[in-house]
Amino acid sequence: MRVLAAMSGGVDSAVAAARAVEAGHDVVGVHLALSRMPGTLRTGSRGCCTIEDSMDAQRAADLLGIPYYVWDFSERFKSDVVEDFIAEYSAGRTPNPCMRCNERIKFAALLEKALALGFDAVATGHYAKITTDASGRRELHRASAEAKDQSYVLGVLTAEQLAHAYFPLGDTPSKELVRQEAERRGLQVARKPDSYDICFISDGDTKGWLAEKVGEAPGDIVDRTGAVVGRHDGAHAYTVGQRRGLHLGTPAPDGRPRFVLEVRPKQNTVVVGPKEALAVAEIAGSRFSWAGADPVASGLVARAREAFACDVQIRAHADPVPATAHVAPGPGDESELVIVPDRPLDGVAPGQTAVVYVGTRVLGQCTIDRTVSAVPVDA
C-alpha cells in the first residue's frame, strides 16, 4: 500500500510513520506548511507546523529512510481555518479550529492531493481505530487508550475519508509507550512536549488577536430579562461559560457571580446569568455528517427521522453523556441533528462540535447551531 505519512514534527506522527514503514508499506513523509510567515505560528510546545517542527519531521524521515516533502497549504489553511475562526467568532459562536483543520486540511485538501498522486491512504499519529463491519464498511472507533483517545477531533470524517485513513497508533495503550518506542527507534522527538493551544495565534492572546482582526465595538451586557448590567468592548471577546473579566456595573440581586450565557452579535450584546442557567437540555445543528454508515444503514433505526440511543461528547476531553438523537426539520430549509442528553450539559456554546457515539464507535457529528436551556428565564 502506498502511504502518505503526515508528519507534524511530533512524536506521535513520527512513530506512526515508522510503524507504516515497518508494516511493509511504501511510505512518503510530508509536512504541511500552514503559514508563509512562520513567526505568526506558535513555537515550542505551544504550537505545531512551525519551521522547527518541519526540521524535526525531516530528521525523523531521514532516520526512517523515506522520501520527505514540505507542501504549502498556507492559502487553504488561511481560508478554511483562520478565516472560518474569525467568521465564527464574529457570528457569536465558539469554533474549534483543530476540528476544521482535520476536516478541511488533513482529510480533505491533503487526502485529495494524496489520491491524485496515487497514494492509497494518509497516515497520521491520531489515537483512534478503524474497523470494518460485516458488510465491509469502515467504522471509526475510540482508541485503546481512553486518556489519549482523539476520536472526538476525527468525528468530522466522512465514509470516503475513512476509506483512505490509516491510524497506526490506535491500539497503543498509552502515550508513554509511544515515547519509549520512539527512544528505541532513535527518534530525537521522543520526549518533545505535546503541542496545544491555537497554532496561528502566536502569543496566545486570543482576545487581542480577534480585536485586531474584527475591531472593537462597545455594547451592552444584559441579564436574561434584558436589563443592562454592564458594558463590553467587543462581543467577540466573550464565550459561553465565561466568568472572569465581565466587569459588571450592576451586581446580581442575590450577590452570586454571573456567567456568560449567550453572545448575540447582531444586537452586539452579551447575556449573563447564574451558573445553573448554563445547563442545556437540547442541542441541534444543521451542519452534520456521518462517520461511515448513517443510523439507518447501521441498523439503529428503521427510518431516517427515528430517535436512537447514543452518547454525546461536546469537547475533546469531556466525558460522554447518554442521550437520544434524531434528524428533524430545522428552522430553515435544512434538516438538523437534534440531541437530547439524559442529563443537562454544562456551558455549551453554538459553534462547538457535538460528536455522537454508539458504544466506542463514532457515528457522526454536528456543529452546534442552537441550544435549549434547561432553566426557564423566570426560574
**Burial call 254-281: b when 16+ CB within 10 Å, e when fewer:** eeeebbbbbbebeebbbbbbbbebbbbe
Q: Which DSSP helix (H) or strand (E) runs through 310?
A: strand 308-313
End-to-end CA distance of the chain: 60
Q: Is 9 annotated as a binding residue?
A: yes
Q: Are 90 and 266 in contact (CB under 8 A)?
A: no
Closest CA to 57 of 187, 153, 145, 163: 187
Does an H or E element contain 54, and which?
helix 51-64
DSSP symbols for 118-181:
T-SEEE----EEEEE-TTS-EEEEE-S-GGG--TGGGTT--HHHHTTEE-TTTT-S-HHHHHHH
Q: Is 10 annotated as a binding residue?
A: yes
Is 125 within any annotated ligand binding site? Answer: yes
319 is in an annotated binding site: no
- Does the annotation list 135 as a binding residue? no
Q: What pairs with residue 262 in β-bridges?
A: 271
Residue 60: strand, helix, or coil: helix
Within 10 angstroms of residue 248's Cβ, the number of other Cβ atoms is 15
State whether the Cα torsion 158-162-165-169 is positive or negative.
Answer: positive
Helix (H, G, I), strand (E, B) or coil at 270: strand
Picking from 282, 194, 242, the residue whose alpha carbon sits closest to that of residue 94 is: 242
| Neighbour order of strands in the sheet with 121-123 | 68-72, 26-33, 2-6, 121-123, 165-166
- Return the amino acid letter for 330: G
Residue 114 in marked binding region: no
Is 29 annotated in a binding site? The answer is no
Element (H, E) at 62: helix 51-64
Any idea which residue has 437520544 for its cell?
Answer: 324
Asked if residue 13 belongs to a known ligand binding site, the reply is: yes
Angle at which helices 206-214 and 83-90 cross, to 10°: 90
Question: Could you list the active site residues?
Answer: 101, 199
* Residue 194 annotated as lining a ligand binding site: no
Detail the residues annotated as belonging to a binding site for ATP.
6-13, 32, 125
Detail the residues annotated as belonging to a binding site.
6-13, 32, 125
